[in-house]
Amino acid sequence: MQDLITGSAYVLGDNVDTDQIIPAKHLVYSLSDPEERKLYGRYALSGVPDGAAGLPNGNVQFVPENEHRSPFQIIIGGRNFGCGSSREHAPEAMQIAGIQAVVAESYARIFYRNSVDGGFFIPFESTQRLITEVKTGDDVEINVPQGTLTNRTSGKTYSLRPLGDVLEIIKAGGVFAYARLAGFLKL
């Protein structure tokens, strides 16, 4: 687990559901095929309504046309991030697009669990509403051991909630590694 995660922020609102993260018509591509899986990156967050795509102004494309990597590495979200369908394609699409961390006020539990168990990125919880403190394109740094997020564009630092019970799974690198440590997998 790296200590510092830095990158450009992409800011979203409340109740961003997994249909917005990866619309259902795209759930047909192979995740096992190294080339085809890039399509998930290409369409990541393509279901977000234009006005809410990259706050505060909206209308910021998350992934440029015909590419599969985003110029943004850190998502800042509001309440209930990742609600709706259990599709693991959602955190995976964000990872394929290059997302390294999400910082939201709260998460829907299946998305949170998928992010941790699949080892796609760390879902951090903020202690205050950051979607009005960070603007899309701001330069952001997460200090994992300190549990802080610094907006290097504004110079302000905010505290994050402790990772709690899931820290062991995150440290292990996902639920398979965790299950091996627990002795359930001999492989």
Partner 1 sequence: MMGMTMTEKVLARHAGRAQAAPGDNIWVDVDILMTHDVCGPGTIGIFRKQFGPTAKVWDREKVVIIPDHYIFTNDLHAHRNIDVLRAFVKEQDLPYYYDVGTDKYKGVCHIALPEEGHTRPGEVLFGTDSHTCTAGAFGEFATGIGNTDAALIMGIGKLWVKVPETMRFEFEGPLPPYLMAKDLILHIIGDIGVDGATYRAMEFSGDGVMSLSIEERMTLCNMVIEAGGKNGIIPTDDVTEQFVKSKTVKPYQPVADDPDARFHSVRRYTTADIQPTLAKPHSPDNRGTAHECAGTKLDRAYIGSCTGGKLNDFIAAAKILKGQQVKADTYIVPATTEVAKGLATTMLDGQSLTDIFLQAGAKISQGASCAACLGGPSDTFGRLNKSEVCISTTNRNFPGRMGSKTSQVYLASPYTVAASAIRGEITDPREFL
Which stretches of the chain bind partner 1, using CB under 8 A?
Answer: 15, 17, 19-20, 23-25, 27-32, 47-50, 79-80, 83-89, 91, 106-110, 113-114, 117-118, 165, 174-176, 178-179, 182, 184-185, 187
Residues 6+ apart with CB under 8 A from 33: none
Q: Are the C-beta atoms of 65 and 144 separated by less than 8 Å?
A: no
Q: Quick one: 110 or 144, whose CB is closer to partner 1?
A: 110
Give min distance, CB of 135 to partner 1, in A. 22
Helix (H, G, I), strand (E, B) or coil at 156: strand
CB closer to partner 1 out of 109 and 129 = 109
User: Considering beta carbons, is residue 42 or 87 the nearer one to partner 1?
Assistant: 87
Nearer to partner 1, 60 or 110 (CB): 110
Phi first, then psi: give them for residue 142, nearest 5 degrees: -105, 125
- Return the H-helix or E-strand segment holding 96: helix 89-96
Q: Which of 10, 124, 115, 4 has its CA nearest to residue 60?
A: 10
- Confirm if 74 and 50 have CB atoms less than 8 A apart: no
Cβ distance to partner 1 smaller for residue 9 or 22: 22
Taking the complex as a whole, the smallest distance from the CB of residue 130 to partner 1 amounts, in Å, to 17
- Least distance (Å) between residue 24 CB and partner 1: 4
Q: Closest CB to partner 1 among 104 and 149?
A: 104
Q: Minimum CB separation from partner 1 for residue 168, in Å?
A: 9
Query: Minimal distance in Å, beta carbon 179 to partner 1?
Result: 6
Distances (CA, A) of 79 to 14, 97, 132, 182: 5, 22, 13, 32
Minimum distance of partner 1 from residue 26's CB (angstroms): 9
Q: Is 81 exposed, middle or buried (0-12, 13-18, 19+ CB in 10 A)?
A: buried
